[in-house]
């Protein structure tokens, strides 16, 4: 996370929050390149000069606002693993999906920025942020898979690399389906109510448990 000026640090808490919220919204709607500092200032009904006084530049604002936002992601995932402790591989999987859903439901704009960042090369910090996300995912799933094999829940000759990749892929894309209609496929989870999505998540996990082949 980049640092903001002392001026910003001295601001009252609610104003700071208002500014960061509006910034996240602007970046979520328009991406980094498309975001407009003029529009942001107008939205906030404060002078553009103030924003530059706080963060120095558009890039500085993004770094600060997004850096603060990703901090929010760490809690829920740990909680999910706690919740499902000792209930087996596939239950941990299901709980992780639910945790992801919950985070997205609570912070949809952060997720949208992440999605835009995936294929938009001109976001600042892109390499670092995406690298961290992927590394965190691998660090999360790999022990899970190894433990699953050890306990006999998963096939002994499973390729862990491939298994981690498939899990990461399916879960990440399932969460993408919640936010982007074209990725929904025939699943019907885009914009669906919570119960429907939870049911589909459980079905997906069940699907993985049973495998494909006859």
Partner DNA sequence: GTTAGAAATGACCGGGTGGTCATTTCCACT
Partner DNA sequence: AGTGGAAATGACCACCCGGTCATTTCTAAC
Tokens of 10: 């001295």
Strand, coil or helix: what is 53?
helix
Chain residues 77-136 in contact with a copy of itself, contact rule CB under 8 A: 112, 115-116, 118-120, 122, 126-127, 130-131, 133-134
Could you say whether residue 138 binds a copy of itself (CB under 8 A)?
yes
CA distance linking residue 35 with residue 25, whole number of Å: 9
Query: CA dist 105 to 24, 94, 99, 101, 149, Å?
Result: 15, 16, 10, 6, 33
Shortest Cβ 202–DNA spacing (Å): 43
Rounded (5°) CA angle 204-97-25: 125
Asked if 76 is part of the footprint of DNA (rule: CB under 7 A), the reply reads no
How many residues in the shown chain lie near DNA by CB under 7 A?
21
All residues at 6 or more sequence positions from 121 whose CB lies less than 8 Å from its CB, including other chains: none
Q: Of residues 1, 75, 161, 199, which one binds a copy of itself by CB under 8 A?
A: 161
Residue 58 binds DNA, judged by CB under 7 A: yes
Tokens of 2: 């980049």
153 binding partner (options DNA, a copy of itself, none; Cβ < 5 to 8 Å by kind): a copy of itself
Contact 43, 35 (CB under 8 A): no
Q: Which does 156 bind (CB under 5 to 8 A by kind): a copy of itself, DNA, none?
A: a copy of itself
Options 49-57, 109-117, 150-158, 197-205: segment touching DNA (CB under 7 A): 49-57
CB of residue 21 vs DNA: minimum separation in angstroms? 16
Interacting partner of 187 out of a copy of itself, DNA, none (Cβ under 5 to 8 A depending on kind): a copy of itself
CB of 59 to DNA, least distance (A): 6
With CB cut-offs between 5 and 8 Å by kind, which of DNA, a copy of itself, none does residue 15 bind? DNA
Establish if 213 lies at the interface with a copy of itself (CB under 8 A): yes
Give me 32's structure tokens. Answer: 């980094």
Which one of 17-25, 41-49, 101-109, 161-169 is the stretch in contact with a copy of itself (CB under 8 A)?
161-169
User: How wide is the angle at C-alpha 112 spanned by C-alphas 1 and 97, nearest 5°?
Assistant: 95
Residues with Cβ within 8 Å of 35's Cβ and at least 6 positions away in sequence, in order, are: 26, 27, 29, 58, 62
């Amino acid at each position: 996370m980049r640092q903001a000026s002392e001026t910003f640090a001295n601001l009252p808490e609610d104003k700071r929050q208002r500014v960061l919220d509006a910034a996240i919204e602007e970046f979520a709607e328009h991406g980094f390149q498309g975001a407009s500092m003029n529009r942001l200032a107008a939205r906030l009904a404060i002078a553009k000069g103030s924003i530059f006084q706080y963060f120095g530049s558009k890039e500085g604002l993004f770094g600060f606002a997004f850096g603060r936002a990703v901090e929010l992601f760490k809690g829920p995932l740990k909680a999910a693993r706690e919740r499902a402790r000792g209930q087996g591989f596939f239950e941990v999987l299901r709980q992780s999906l639910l945790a992801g859903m919950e985070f997205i439901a609570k912070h949809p704009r952060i997720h949208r920025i992440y999605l835009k960042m995936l294929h938009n090369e001109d976001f600042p910090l892109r390499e670092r942020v995406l690298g961290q996300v992927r590394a965190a995912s691998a660090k999360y799933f790999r022990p899970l898979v190894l433990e699953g094999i050890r306990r006999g829940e998963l096939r002994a000759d499973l390729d862990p690399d491939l298994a981690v990749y498939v899990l990461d892929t399916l879960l990440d894309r399932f969460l993408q389906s919640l936010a982007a209609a074209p990725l929904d496929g025939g699943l019907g989870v885009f914009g669906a109510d919570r119960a429907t999505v939870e049911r589909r998540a459980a079905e997906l996990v069940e699907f993985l448990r049973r495998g494909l082949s006859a």
